[in-house]
Structure formats: C-alpha cells, structure tokens
C-alpha cells in the first residue's frame, strides 16, 4: 500500500458524497449516462476549457503593494465580515466567479436573481445563478456616508480587502429567498445563517483582497485556486477534466461512477482524462459531516486505492453551501469551468435537501440535471448524469443496477449509512473501504454524549 506522503505528492489533496436530504432515504447513485450533447467520434479537442469571459479574474493585491493597501484600509470606513462573507470573498479573490470583479452591484444582483446569468459588455452571456453579495445594516450605511470606498475587516479586526466604486442598494430579502430557493418556508439553513438577520442593504463594488485567504486549520495546503488547479492539470497533461462535487464521505458507489466515467472518456478518444474530486469546503448545515473529517475520509479512500492518485486531483472548493437545488447546481458547475473542467458529473437531487416544513424533498430529484443541460452560459460544459447503482449481493460490491434481477440489489440509504456508523456497525463488505468507514465511525463516536450528558465539542479530525 502506498504511503499517504507518496499519494499526496501525486494528488493535491486540498477540501460531500452524493446524498439526498439527511432526513429521507434514497438510493445511492453511480455510473454515468452520456447524453446526446456530448460528441462521440470526430476530432477530440485537447486542452483545458477557457474560463468564463476568456480569463480568470483574480482579485488579490500583488505582494509589493500589500503594505500600502493595508495602510489605506485603516483610513476608510469599515465593514466587518461574517465567516460566510469571508468565504465569498475567498471565492471572488481566486476567480471562481470569473468574470465577476467583486461583490455584486444591483444590476448584477438582479440579473443573477432573475436570469441566472450575466450579460457581458461584448454581449456574451455567462452563467451566474447564486447572488454573491455583501449585506450591511443601517448603522454601517450611515457610517459610510458619501465615501466611494470601504475597507473590509475580519472578526479579529484585521483589514482583509478594499471595496471601491461602491454602490449601496436595498436588500430585498424575501425576493432573494423566493427566487433562489423557490420557497420562503422557515427553516432553510443558509437563509437562517446568512440572510434573515443580515442588514437591509447590499453593498457592491470592485474588490481588492489584501492577501491570499488562509484558514490556518491544517487544510490550507489542500485549497488550490483555479489557477493552481489549471497548472496541476496541465502538468498532468489532462486533455479532459471531469469534476465531481461532494459534501459527504466517498463510498464505493461513487468510486464506481468516477472510474467508469474515465473509462467512457477514454473510449471517446481522450488520452488522459483527469478526475477533479472537489469537496465543498465552505458553510454547510450542522448535520453534515465537518470538512476536516471528510478530508480524512477522502485520504483513506486514496490510501486504500479506491481511486487512482495518478488520475485524481483532490482539492477543496471554498464556496458556502446554499442547498438551493437546481439553482445552486448551476453555480457549482460554472465554478468548475473556471478551474478547467469540461465535464461535470451530476446526480439525483443535486444541492437538494428535505423540505424544511413538509415531509418531502424540496426539489424534484431530476430537475437539477435537466436544468444543467439547458442553463444559459453552460453550453461549453458537458453534463454527465448518473444512472443507478446499488449493492449487488451476488458480487459483494457496489454495481450498476440490473432491473432484470432486482432481488439481488440492496439500496443503502444515507439514513441507513449514518445509523450504522453511529452504532459502530459495519456496512456490507464492498460498500466503503474499511479505512474510510472507520473515519465515519470515529466521527460519530466523537458526538456521543459525555458522562455529564452533554454533547462534546466536535473534535477536528
């Protein structure tokens, strides 16, 4: 077995599997059905896909000017950022939202909200389905006054960015929530965390981030920017990049999907398709497995050889999670274009969750993949929808579901997987690599009430 150091030298491992709502059962999916929009045969175009707008828009101040800019920031009106604001600043700074050059002004906000896209100066359209905005309250608005620039500070009082040529406009919370989630029902996690109690104004402008964003959580080495990912993919001579977003642990059904996708791309004529395994690293709801534990589990998947380090790049995607279904999955796909991906794997109910009030899913399970195939600005991206996989009792492993012998298959739901891990029970052999499963058991064990009956703090992996 290769050592982790060896694997990390081959696989940049920077920051959920495909699941449905944590409150409902569902069959895991695997394998890809290649749609008609993918050309089979003919010339294969090698190389990485261009970023939206033709180039990455990176917003980090060059090192020689950082001291000067930090001094400027201390003399400007201040806006303190929340942890989610900082995550969005990180996203913007590295070019994930290219060609966006800062927190959205009102015209960009409205286009995003109502068209899921932005029209550029040359008349072309790029996808943008999730508003990337910064909220301020009445007091902050008053303190800014007539200034056209503000400084952004973190919660420790450190200047982190400057926003210039600013525009302040009303924060239409109800409209934003209704258009993004398709409901204003109480209990939407991101809404409760970042919108309901936010200020009644939004401030947009041109962003200058004073230095690269670091979290100092032991995972910064795993956070590759789009430019760094492109450099790594070019180093590996990738002629196709297929991205898989996840916010949960990887099981063998996911591995089957990813390895089968590579096989199919090779059959299409590509010479070296590379998998971008891209766990979401920003805000997630409280009952999702924390990032540090997910990354530890992903390490075990590589150590155990479930995925090939030679053809896999693992990196953290810094975006917060909305759980906004077909609207949000467009953002997930668009951001991967900027990282060089030209294929995007989408499963059942992507970015979905259970309805916060009613006992049903919030979104139709098939709408995400259908919307991606039609979304404005995503025409250059090949969408790879799943077909079903399940645990095959006759083979003792995850396999593609065969409807001619349904009695041989077991669908292990997300609820069942969590229950087994919490009870320190083992899933069927072949469902997940043993090392990866043990990480899940250890995580849920860390949540066991202490002797005083209180839940302990979640311990970083």
Same domain assignment for residues 167 and 241: no
Q: What is the DSSP string of 168-185?
A: EEE--HHHHHHHHHS---
Indicate the burial class of 453 (C-beta count within 10 angstroms; 0-12, 13-18, 19 or more): exposed
Residue 344 CA to residue 381 CA, distance in Å, equals 7
Same domain assignment for residues 332 and 420: yes
Mark which of 209, 236, 263 sits at the end of a domain: 209
Same domain assignment for residues 230 and 203: no
Q: Please indicate, yes or no, if residue 195 is contained in any of the structural domains.
A: yes
Determine the length of the chain: 461
Degrees (nearest 5) of the Cα angle 190, 195, 199? 160
Q: Please indicate, yes or no, if residue 153 is contained in any of the structural domains.
A: yes
Can you say how many angstroms the Cα of residue 414 is from the centroid of all Cα atoms in its chain? 19
| Tens of each residue's pLDDT in the chain, 461 residues | 344 333 344 444 332 222 223 333 323 333 344 443 343 333 445 579 999 999 999 999 999 999 999 999 999 999 999 999 999 999 999 999 999 999 999 999 999 999 999 999 999 999 999 999 999 999 999 999 999 999 999 999 999 999 999 999 999 999 999 999 999 999 999 999 999 999 999 999 999 999 999 999 999 999 999 999 999 999 999 999 999 998 889 999 889 989 999 999 999 999 999 999 999 999 999 989 999 999 999 999 999 999 999 999 999 999 999 999 999 999 999 999 999 999 999 988 999 999 999 999 999 999 999 999 999 999 999 998 877 889 999 999 999 899 999 999 998 877 788 889 999 999 999 999 999 999 999 999 999 875 554 445 444 54
- Residue 232 has phi, psi (to 5 degrees) of -65, -40
Same domain assignment for residues 360 and 394: yes
Domain containing 356 equals 220-447
Same domain assignment for residues 203 and 229: no
Q: Please indicate, yes or no, if residue 25 is contained in any of the structural domains.
A: no
Beta strands in 226-348 (DSSP E): 240-246, 273-279, 312-314, 343-346
Q: Report which of 342, 389, 387, 390 is spatially closest to residue 369, judged by C-alpha positions.
A: 387
Same domain assignment for residues 200 and 229: no
Same domain assignment for residues 301 and 419: yes
In this structure, are residues 128 and 111 in contact, taking their beta carbons and an 8 Å threshold? yes
Largest CA distance in the chain: 72
Q: Please indicate, yes or no, if residue 103 is contained in any of the structural domains.
A: yes
In this structure, are residues 392 and 354 in contact, taking their beta carbons and an 8 Å threshold? no
Residue 305 CA to residue 302 CA, distance in Å, equals 5
Other beta carbons less than 10 A from residue 320's beta carbon: 22
* CATH number of the domain to which 333 belongs: 3.40.50.620
Q: Please indicate, yes or no, if residue 29 is contained in any of the structural domains.
A: no
Q: What pLDDT is recorded for position 356?
A: 96
Helix (H, G, I), strand (E, B) or coil at 289: coil
Q: What pLDDT is recorded for position 219?
A: 96
Number of structural domains in the chain = 2
Residue 110 CA to residue 113 CA, distance in Å, equals 5
Mark which of 183, 209, 235 sits at the end of a domain: 209
Same domain assignment for residues 262 and 377: yes
In this structure, are residues 127 and 52 in contact, taking their beta carbons and an 8 Å threshold? yes
Residue 423 CA to residue 377 CA, distance in Å, equals 46
Same domain assignment for residues 302 and 398: yes
Q: Please indicate, yes or no, if residue 263 is contained in any of the structural domains.
A: yes
* CATH number of the domain to which 170 belongs: 3.10.400.10
Q: What pLDDT is recorded for position 450?
A: 57
Q: Please indicate, yes or no, if residue 369 is contained in any of the structural domains.
A: yes
What residue has token string 């009430």?
A: 449
Indicate the burial class of 287 (C-beta count within 10 angstroms; 0-12, 13-18, 19 or more): exposed
Same domain assignment for residues 199 and 229: no
Tokens representing 322? Answer: 């909305």
Mark which of 159, 179, 209 sits at the end of a domain: 209
Strand partners, 60: 209
Same domain assignment for residues 69 and 173: yes
Same domain assignment for residues 399 and 304: yes
Taking only Cα atoms into account, the Rg of the chain, rounded to an integer number of angstroms, comes to 22
Per-residue CA distances from 387 to 116, 247, 366, 384 (Å):
27, 20, 11, 10
Q: Please indicate, yes or no, if residue 38 is contained in any of the structural domains.
A: no
Other beta carbons less than 10 A from residue 308's beta carbon: 15
């Amino acid at each position: 077995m290769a050592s982790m150091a060896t694997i990390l030298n081959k696989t940049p491992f920077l920051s959920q599997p495909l699941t449905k709502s944590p409150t409902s059962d569902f069959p895991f999916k695997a394998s890809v059905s290649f749609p008609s929009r993918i050309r089979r045969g003919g010339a294969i175009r090698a190389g990485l896909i261009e970023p939206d707008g033709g180039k990455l828009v990176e917003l980090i101040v060059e090192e020689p000017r950082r001291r000067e800019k930090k001094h400027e920031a201390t003399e400007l009106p201040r806006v303190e950022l929340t942890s989610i604001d900082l995550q969005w600043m990180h996203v913007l700074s590295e070019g994930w939202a290219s060609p966006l050059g800062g927190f959205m002004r009102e015209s960009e906000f409205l286009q995003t909200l109502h068209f899921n896209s932005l029209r550029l100066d040359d008349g072309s359209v790029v996808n943008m389905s999730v508003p990337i905005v910064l909220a301020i309250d009445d007091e902050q608005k008053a303190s800014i006054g007539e200034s056209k620039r503000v400084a952004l500070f973190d919660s420790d009082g450190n200047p982190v960015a400057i926003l210039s040529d600013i525009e302040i406009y009303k924060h239409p919370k109800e409209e934003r929530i209704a258009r993004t989630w398709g409901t204003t029902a109480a209990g939407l996690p991101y809404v409760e965390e970042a919108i309901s109690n936010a200020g009644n104004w939004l401030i947009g402008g041109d962003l200058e981030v004073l230095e690269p964003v670091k979290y100092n959580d032991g995972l910064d080495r795993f956070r590759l920017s789009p430019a760094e990912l492109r450099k790594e993919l070019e180093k590996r001579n990738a002629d196709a990049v297929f991205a898989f977003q996840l916010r949960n642990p990887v099981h063998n059904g996911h591995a089957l999907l990813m390895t089968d996708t590579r096989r199919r791309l090779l059959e299409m004529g590509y010479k070296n398709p590379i998998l971008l395994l891209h766990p979401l690293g920003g805000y997630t709801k409280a009952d999702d497995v924390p990032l540090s534990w997910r990354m530890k589990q992903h390490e075990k998947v590589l150590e155990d050889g479930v995925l090939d380090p030679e053809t896999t790049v693992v990196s953290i995607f810094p975006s917060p999670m909305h759980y906004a279904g077909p609207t949000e999955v467009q953002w997930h796909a668009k951001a991967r274009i900027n990282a060089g991906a030209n294929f995007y794997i989408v499963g059942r109910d992507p970015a979905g969750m259970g309805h916060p009030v009613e006992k049903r899913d919030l979104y139709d399970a098939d709408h995400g993949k259908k919307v991606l195939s039609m979304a404005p600005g995503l025409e250059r991206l090949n969408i790879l929808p799943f077909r079903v996989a399940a645990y095959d009792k006759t083979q003792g492993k995850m396999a593609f579901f065969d409807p001619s012998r349904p009695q041989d298959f077991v669908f292990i739901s997300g609820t069942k997987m969590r229950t087994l891990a919490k009870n320190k029970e083992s899933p069927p052999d072949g469902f997940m690599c043993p090392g990866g499963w043990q990480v899940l058991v250890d995580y849920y064990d860390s949540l066991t009430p202490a002797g005083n009956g209180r839940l302990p703090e979640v311990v970083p992996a």
